[in-house]
Structure 1
Amino acid sequence: MSPRVAVVTGAASGIGAAISAELAEHGWTVAGLDLRPADIPELSVTADISEAAQVREAIGVVRAELGPIEALVTAAGYYEMVPISEITADAWTRMLRVHLGGLRNATCAVLPEMRERRRGAIVAIASELAIGGGEGDAHYAAAKGGIIGFVRSLATEVAADGIRVNAVAPGPTDTPLLAADSPWRAPEYLATLPAGRLCRPDEVAQMVQFLIDESSFCTGEVVSPNSGAVI
């Protein structure tokens, strides 16, 4: 029986690492793409997700070593809070290239094969901030909002090919991306959440696994585990 191969970008840490572990537990053979080596038994490939040529090459390595790719999860990214007046043109461009461009690059690298085999699942990690916005988050929210638009459009375009495309838009999540002094960790903020705590990476991972394995009819959806911050 051929292995079910999933590619996870941003697999070296945080949400990406949790997703890789969750999929592996459910029988997937996982390949991780990241700027740094990921702790994944099957295959870790280093690549800059914002560079289309590097992503195509990395996907080619995965295909050659593990076989056809059935699932893609794009979790690569970074976060910073910057007032709009201080966001430089370079910072704006980099944020869009990593988050939105990275999704485009990875999708374009795997989509022809998925279409040919007439099956596949793509899950993009967006953010609650793409839905509700946030002070000091304009370029991050714009990039993540673009991901939601991309997902909904692509889902419509490839549904007839047997490919499902969804997004998970978590609220603030307890990963190293949130500094110890982040306002999202402040007791005053946590007290505003109905659940009273940050999301855990494994909870995001469980949602991704559900969208890939269990929701055979779900496409074009945005699921937001956010402790009830946006209802």
Structure 2
Amino acid sequence: MSTIDINLAIRDIVDHSVSHLTWYEQACSDFGFKGISQLWEDEPSWYFWSDEIPGAFLLRFVDGEMVEGEGFASLVVHYFPDRSDAGSVSRLSDEELKLFEDDSLYDSESSSPRFEAYNSFLAHFKVAELGVLFDGDKCVKMLSLARTEEWKEESGVFFQMLISIFNFYWKSHHTSEFSLSQEGADVTLLVYDSDSFGVFRQSFGIEEQELRIDTDRRLTERIKHVSHKNYKCSANGACSCH
């Protein structure tokens, strides 16, 4: 059975999806995409900025494994609020506040850690986890979204933006969705391929009776039909999609 370089594959999935999006100015606006900055670390990592919420998100690859011939990538989502957002700042822990308020460690203009202090922030500011199941052609089979209750609104905004970007690039969307409670987090499962999901569920010991259909429609209704949107390319024929 062949293996997949999951580190490289998830880097390609994110990079290619965002690169495709940036040819379409209206799509960027519709998805709330403001900007991205890739970090050249050993593990694939990116900062994202959204028009819909102040601050910055860090998406960071942490682990990968093979599941019956397909790759499964686990990523962590960190959220760094804007210093002017008193409501979000009030929810930070004491340890996070020390990092957040130190100008030598935190850049308030970009709402992100300074380069030399990056590693000091990785144990903190975690708001969600993302799982991506994909095949050897880097086609998505399932997405898992685990959100903590305290930062559910903020991580929901990020997931709507990110999955809209994915779906717009893949030209596909989930066909079914489920939710379950796992280790104190609310997990949403977006299924693109039911056969692959069945194998994944068995491999991870998820019983069918654990799955619920009462998913958060506010999170999923906006992203489902993004793949059908037909935007005129802003590059006027100069881009690779023509």
TM-score by length of structure 2 reads 0.30
- Structure 1 or 2: larger helix share? 1
Instruction: Identify the structure with the greater strand proportion.
Output: 2
